Structure 1
Amino acid sequence: MQSVFSHRHVIAADIRTQISTGRIKAGERLPSEAQLASHYTVSTATLRSALAVLQGEGLVEKIHGKGNFVRYPLGRITYVGGGRSTKAASAAESALRVSVRTTNLQAHGQLIGLLRVSANSPLTEYFCLSDDGTSPHSLARIYVPHDLSPANLPEESPCFNCIEARLAELRPPLAEVRERVTARPPTPEEAATLRISSALAVLSITRVAADNTGRVVEAALLVLPGDRADAFFTTHHMPEEKRKSG
């Protein structure tokens, strides 16, 4: 008798083949979990375990209240130290758009330490969610002191860099940017927002930017799904003779 482990991988392989051969097309809804369990003669728990394998591979996404759908090909997200850019996996993909939700709030919790401000200091949060037209790609929470927040930031933008450009209009030039990159499981809220499996790791980036007086003018918390994210950092070394002459 085959084990549950074997059953789920046989089922996942069969559905994966149907997706790769085009029998089930991108954007198409899979049969209900009850129908699939009956078709493969397994329990609902085993069927869900098989779907979890495909969700972890980024082939299938579960939309609450609607069912399981075949994902469209995923565009790669490339995070470049100090910034962010995207590169689509194919020319047929829609350009990424970023929706922005602006909220005024008071500093609390980790924001106090990240922005080096006292509790209840006025801040502005920009919650940014990128979308390729079919599914979410990544999210970011950007925090700035309220006196540096631009007025009337659009609710939609063509890219994160455009948002960063608007935020830079009121702040002084940056003197230091510190970034911490970790891989971790998504929170339940992140998994639901990005429509990814809770078993899929995300790339979590905390970026803190300060001006030449040492004041922190921006703190950003970025979350990139691990199945489509790369991070690149470049260090420029000063020649020995230049260091001595300086």
Structure 2
Amino acid sequence: MEKIKYPVYDYIKFIWKKKLLLIGFTILCMVIGAALSYTKPTVYTSTAIVFTGNGNNDELSKPDLITGRYKEELPDELKSSLNVKADPFQITLSLSGTNKEAVESNMNKVAEQYTNDLIEDFDELHDAMANYRNALEKKVKNTEESITQYEQLIQDTSNDSKLISYSEILINKMDIADKYRADFHEAEYDLALLEEPKKSDVKTIQSSNNNLLKNTLLAGAFGFQLMLVLLVLWKYIINARRSLSQRQ
């Protein structure tokens, strides 16, 4: 009667006999992974928050455009680490590197330049809105003076045709004055809401970034799988040699 073979059980039995080797190699890989984690340099990240105010310049409000514009001012080793995040009415700039002083100074440089560009854009907007408000104020004043003149003309005239004409002009002037007043108050309100861009202080945090636990577990999983494959291959070679010896 042919002997029944259980190859899977045979492999499991072999691996169980070599369990100390499997466990030992896994632990060794975990130790190596943990040790390599500490070889990574300390990384410093500097962050600056800039309040953008009421600016609406796409080049100064979209992260991709901001990154492309200001990274050229950075050293080559820091260009790729510039990160820009946009939130309502504020932009967060961050820079990372292994040299704390270089990271802080360059972050401050970029934040200052960005804030100054925002202020320049804000000043242009403020001047334009102020000029518009002043122009409306002048129109309101001139229209009110014109209304006063026509009111006086109506009082002084006794000619019916002129009275009708003056009255129509007066009504039209009053409507125009109401519109100018509404536009003036709206412009004055918008101007009062304008807020100048401001930069917060640059803050730096230290991160070793070694991911000790993660690297240790990954190294252990790799070592376990690698040794498992090697043990299966070892058992396969033993079985193959045994089969060849039996045939001879």
Normalised TM-score (structure 1) = 0.19
Structure whose residues are more often helix by fraction? 2
Normalised TM-score (structure 2) = 0.19
Larger Rg: 2
